Structure 1
């Protein structure tokens, strides 16, 4: 499993995921806020399955 998500995109995914989870936990948004787990997980791992299927790679270092 090679990394296919670059640094800035990883940060954006992690922040967006945490915001969605926090909003869901406080009841500000509905159950769909828990979907923030997906961008959080992909951001932490640095790997996105759909990117792999589509051949997308936003990493600067393509060999990582």
Structure 2
């Protein structure tokens, strides 16, 4: 599979994903009054951001024809 997430996009996805996942875990743990179901959804969104950032592959980008990698193929 070709990479389509690069550079700054990758770093932002990973950093934001970690923050979102921590917020989701806090909601699940009761530290944030959003509720467990909302916390689970937020945690899943954070996990997707971290996964797409670390693998450098985003299926939404692939479907839309977007490529933020700086490397030539």
Shorter-chain TM-score range = 0.7 to 0.9
Q: CA deviation at 1:53?
A: 1.1
Q: Normalising by structure 1, what TM-score? A: 0.85
Equivalent residue, structure 2, for 1:44: 54
Equivalent residue, structure 1, for 2:25: 25
- Render the CA deviation track for 1:26-47: whole Å, top value 9, x for unaligned: 2235332212111110000001
Uncovered stretches (5+) of structure 2, i.e. residues with no partner:
none
Q: Normalising by structure 2, what TM-score? A: 0.76
CA-atom RMSD, angstroms? Answer: 1.3
Equivalent residue, structure 2, for 1:57: 67
Runs of 4+ with >3 A deviation:
none
How many residue pairs get aligned? The number is 63
Higher-Rg structure is 2
